[in-house]
């Protein structure tokens, strides 16, 4: 008999099914023993009654009633939480007074006919039948493979998949192609600190893990692919913060022959589609999304990621907005600190200024007044995405680094490959990157991104399950030409 998933049995009263799963709970009510059998799809109640023999087998080469008929009541007494079972049984309608409206299979139960113990389990270090919020995070991270068994966490993984699948299908229908970009790349000063990987074959040289696919996606536009996207892994060696991870996921996309309005319109439509198709219980406060300039946002809300919800007590209210017209550069140092003013980019050095400021950028004048083509999408007070139209001509990108005080030699060393590529007929292009983990967190009403990442690090960047970071053997260090 083929396997039936638990959720599928709710309308199969009278049929015989073959179920596989874990013992979520066992309840002994004297003459009756109940277990809740759980698989990824849901939970169903199995009822064991006295004085009925059922065939029971085990794949462990022995054990309780192996290969023999046994009293099912006695066998059920020996079952424990998280044991792995196969149960063949008949689906029965529950008595009306015993219906459980809290679960989707609450109108039915299983009368077992066969049972096979596929594996026993040690007692879990914490309960798995709660939402898990009450359990210390270090314990949950150490036993993450158990923590993921709880219904809430399984649901989070399923909804993360649904969002990913929707994005892939939606963008594919719009003519985008998914392209994987390298994980081993070059260290360049783009903002955060890089994770670096020593090269065994080239002593003293290092790869860097990508903070984002920024340069590669622009190079794909130079290559003529026109519409690219990727569910991309990104890595940033930043100081520890509660809601930040050393590695995280972005929806990354780039488009050729577009202006700012084209990119914003496409992303707005995609976000609305995700909500309406996957989270229909949620309400988007305003469509089209309202727009604020950076200056307006700072003056009115004192932040560039304002929470525009009219009712902040409603967990299903989504207040999206766009923030635009950011300053391109911010000043560091200056006479007040006893030195010269140094300029740094506010968002992304590869951004283009708004068209009316291109001459000032090239000339390196009126720097505080230059506005960038950057656009951020904000949800309920959190930035969930940011992008821009890019400098598609080498002189524009070179001007950005010149304003930042980079010498010609450094520009060539760090970004010569980009300048060269833009000189080979790069099309006008622009794109965006979403903080995918953050978006799924907000849509799922979760308190932090660790609740929607399958195997996250702790807030201080440790993996307690795998015990990393860890030391290397001396032999490995020697092969990598490293000394500690």
Task: Using alpha carbons, select from 175, 74, 163, 64 the residue that is nearest to residue 120.
Answer: 64
Digit-coded pLDDT (tens) for 413-472:
989 999 999 999 999 999 999 999 999 999 999 999 999 999 999 988 999 999 999 999
pLDDT band at 348 (very low <50, low <70, confident <90, very high): confident
Whole-Å CA distances, 125 to 142, 190, 300, 464: 10, 43, 49, 15
**pLDDT, position 47:** 95
Task: Using alpha carbons, select from 155, 154, 217 the residue that is nearest to residue 432.
Answer: 217
**Count of C-beta atoms within a 10 Å radius of residue 413:** 11
Digit-coded pLDDT (tens) for 183-220:
999 987 656 899 999 999 999 999 999 999 999 999 99
**pLDDT, position 57:** 58
Whole-Å CA distances, 1 to 18, 207, 396: 6, 52, 67
**pLDDT, position 66:** 42
**pLDDT, position 239:** 81
**Domains in the chain, start-ordered, CATH in brackets?**
6-119 (2.40.50.140), 145-326+374-392+427-474 (3.30.930.10)
Residue 399 above 60 pLDDT? yes
Q: Which residues of 72-95 are buried (b: 16+ CB within 10 A; e: fewer)?
A: bbebbeebebbbebbbbbebeebe
Whole-Å CA distances, 96 to 34, 107, 108: 17, 8, 10
**pLDDT, position 54:** 58
The predicted model gives 56-65 an average pLDDT of 50
The predicted model gives 140-155 an average pLDDT of 97
- The encoded tokens of residue 86 equal 């196969």
Residue 303 above 90 pLDDT? yes
The predicted model gives 329-351 an average pLDDT of 80
Helices (H) and strands (E) in the chain, counts: 12, 21
Q: Are 418 and 434 in contact (CB under 8 A)?
A: no
pTM for this prediction = 0.92
- How high does pLDDT run on average in the chain? 92
């Amino acid at each position: 008999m083929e396997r039936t998933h638990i959720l599928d049995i709710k309308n199969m009263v009278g049929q015989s099914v073959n179920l596989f799963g874990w013992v979520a709970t066992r309840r002994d009510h004297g003459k009756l023993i109940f277990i809740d059998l759980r698989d990824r799809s849901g939970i169903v109640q199995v009822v064991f009654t006295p004085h009925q023999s059922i065939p029971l087998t085990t794949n462990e080469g022995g054990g309780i009633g192996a290969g023999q008929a046994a009293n099912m009541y006695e066998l059920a007494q020996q079952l424990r939480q998280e044991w792995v079972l196969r149960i063949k049984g008949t689906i029965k309608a529950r008595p009306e007074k015993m219906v459980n409206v809290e679960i989707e299979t609450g109108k039915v139960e299983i009368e077992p006919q066969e049972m096979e113990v596929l594996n026993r389990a040690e007692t879990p270090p914490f309960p798995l039948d709660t939402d898990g919020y009450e359990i210390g995070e270090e314990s949950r991270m150490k036993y993450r493979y158990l923590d993921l068994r709880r219904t809430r966490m399984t649901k989070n993984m399923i909804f993360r998949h649904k969002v990913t699948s929707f994005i892939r299908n939606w963008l594919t229908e719009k003519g985008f192609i998914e392209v994987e970009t390298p994980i081993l790349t070059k260290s360049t000063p783009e903002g955060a600190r890089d994770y670096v990987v020593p090269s065994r074959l080239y002593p003293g040289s290092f790869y860097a893990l990508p903070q984002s696919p920024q340069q590669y996606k622009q190079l794909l536009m130079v290559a003529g692919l026109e519409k690219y996207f990727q569910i991309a892994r990104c890595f940033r060696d930043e100081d520890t913060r509660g809601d930040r991870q050393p590695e995280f996921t972005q929806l990354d996309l780039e488009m050729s022959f577009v202006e700012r309005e084209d990119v914003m319109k496409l992303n707005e439509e995609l976000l609305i589609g995700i909500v309406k198709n996957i989270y229909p219980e949620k309400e988007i406060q305003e469509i089209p999304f309202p727009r604020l300039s950076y200056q307006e946002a700072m003056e009115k809300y004192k932040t560039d990621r304002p929470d525009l919800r009219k009712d902040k007590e409603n967990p299903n209210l989504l207040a999206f907005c766009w923030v635009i017209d950011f300053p391109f550069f911010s000043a560091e140092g200056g006479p007040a600190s006893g030195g010269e003013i140094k300029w740094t980019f506010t968002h992304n050095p590869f951004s283009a200024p708004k068209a009316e400021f291109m001459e000032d950028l090239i000339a390196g004048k009126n720097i505080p007044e230059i506005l960038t083509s950057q656009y951020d999408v904000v949800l309920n007070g959190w930035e969930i995405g940011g992008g821009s139209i890019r400098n598609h001509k080498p002189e524009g990108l070179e001007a950005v680094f010149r304003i930042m005080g980079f010498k010609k030699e450094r520009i060539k060393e760090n970004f010569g490959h980009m300048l060269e590529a833009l000189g080979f007929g790069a099309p006008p292009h622009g794109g965006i990157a979403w903080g995918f983990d953050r978006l799924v967190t907000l849509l799922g009403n979760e308190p932090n991104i660790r609740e929607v990442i399958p195997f996250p690090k702790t807030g201080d960047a440790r993996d307690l399950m795998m015990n990393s970071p860890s030391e290397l053997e001396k032999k490995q260090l020697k092969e990598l030409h490293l000394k500690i």
